[in-house]
Amino acid sequence: MAATYVARIEELGLRDTSRFQAEADLLVGRMRWDVPAHVGRIESSEVVLPGGLLVMEMSGELQRPLEIQEQEVQPWVGFLYQLQGSSQSSADRMPGHEVGGGYHNSIHDPGTTTRHVMRPDRQGQFRAVHLGLAPEFFRQLIEHNDEWLPLYERRLGAEQSFMSLPDPVAALPVIRQLVEQLRQCPYSGVLRRMFIEGRFLDLFAEQQRQYQQIFQAGASATRPRSQHELFHAIRAYLDEHYAAPPSLLELARTFGINDFKLKKGFKEVCGTTVFGYVAEKRLTEAKCLLETTALPVQEVGEQVGFANAAHFATCFRRKFGVPPSQLR
């Protein structure tokens, strides 16, 4: 792939507020970024709601990675849902974290120099949905929730950039559906605001629930538990990592057991092998993606972990009786 093109956010025209128009109590904008033709074409649509919520979709074609640099930004909390291609964000004292297609994560930045690298997929496509929150709004959402607050409380007071999770996680079907609903809001004016607020709160709750499950799985990996609890925790872990699962040895090491106990116990408790469970999960998630998104069939296969399109089609037909293309 060609060398990365680097630009300041001002050079791309993203500081120009003239693109926004008032719509009831919303600000709505759409623009084509000032990107040279040899780099590609990126467009964005934005809706700014009162109270500190931004909904932004970025999409287009890239012939090379595009790096955006921001300096002296205001404190913000951002939720990224990557649909095609990948995004890598880094900030002062925080190394780069990449989110690939079909995955999500969130970043908390108290106001530093940030860098965002946008990379296209194999077909040169890029698409992502970004939700930006004012820190005060984010605190209001979590401060009275005894389950969510412990995930952030200590780190929020450190005045340092951080990602909610050390690694991005695959978007669950319900999260993908809510993101699609945000993208395709059918209303305008006050109804648009009410629709977006409702879908955002549903999406935020589902995302925090997924984050909480991941933190609980990691914390419980080191404490004694029954065999039933252990292997259900392993199954939950695989639900989050099915697209790029660890080896049996890595999985066993993560949960403090040997690979023999892993294979035997997982089969007894879950009724299938580890790899059988992952294979089933991949196909189920692929079917959901085909039914709820417009992603190309090959991209769907890649997102759920199939490196070979023909193998994906064969496995899908064997499972569901039809080729994946027939669901379109």
Q: Return the percentage of the chain with pLDDT > 70, whole number.
A: 95
Domain boundary among 218, 234, 262: 218
Q: Are residues 124 and 254 in the same domain?
A: no
In the chain, what are the helix, strand and coil shares in percent, each to the nearest 5?
Answer: 45, 25, 30
Q: Which helix (H) or strand (E) holds 316?
A: helix 309-320
Domain that holds residue 63: 5-218
CA distances 73 to 8, 52, 76, 92, 135, Å, are 12, 15, 8, 12, 13
Q: Is 57 in contact with 128 (CB distance < 8 Å)?
A: yes
Q: Are residues 84 and 186 in the same domain?
A: yes
* pLDDT band per the 50, 70, 90 thresholds, residue 248: very high
Characterize 42-60 residue by residue with b for buried, 16 or more Cβ atoms within 10 angstroms of its Cβ, and e for exposed: bebebbbbeebbbbbbbbb
- The reported pLDDT for the residue numbered 218 is 62
**Residue 256 belongs to domain with CATH number:** 1.10.10.60
Instruction: Tell me the pLDDT of the chain averaged across its residues.
Output: 89
Domain boundary among 202, 218, 234: 218
Report the range out of 36-50, 156-170, 246-260, 282-296 with the highest average pLDDT: 36-50
Number of domains in the chain: 2
Which residues are paired to 76 by β-bridges?
A: 109
Q: Are residues 231 and 190 in the same domain?
A: no
Residue 131 clears pLDDT 60, i.e. is over it = yes
Q: Are residues 214 and 234 in the same domain?
A: no
Domain boundary among 218, 240, 265: 218
What is the residue whose two structure tokens read 């569901």?
A: 320
Q: Which residues contact 104 (CB under 8 A, 6 or more apart)?
A: 79, 80, 81, 82, 168, 169, 171, 175, 207
Residue 49 clears pLDDT 60, i.e. is over it = yes
Q: Pairing state of beta strands 66-70 and 5-8?
A: parallel
* pLDDT band per the 50, 70, 90 thresholds, residue 240: confident
Residue 154 clears pLDDT 80, i.e. is over it = no
* pLDDT band per the 50, 70, 90 thresholds, residue 162: confident
Q: Are residues 63 and 45 in the same domain?
A: yes
pLDDT tens-digit series, residues 93-122: 677 789 998 889 998 888 777 899 999 998
**Residue 210 belongs to domain with CATH number:** 2.60.120.10
pTM of the model: 0.71
* pLDDT band per the 50, 70, 90 thresholds, residue 224: very low
The amino acid occupying position 323 is P
- The reported pLDDT for the residue numbered 221 is 52
- The reported pLDDT for the residue numbered 72 is 64
pLDDT tens-digit series, residues 67-87: 999 886 688 899 999 999 999
- For residues 327 and 310, which has the higher predicted lDDT (pLDDT)? 310
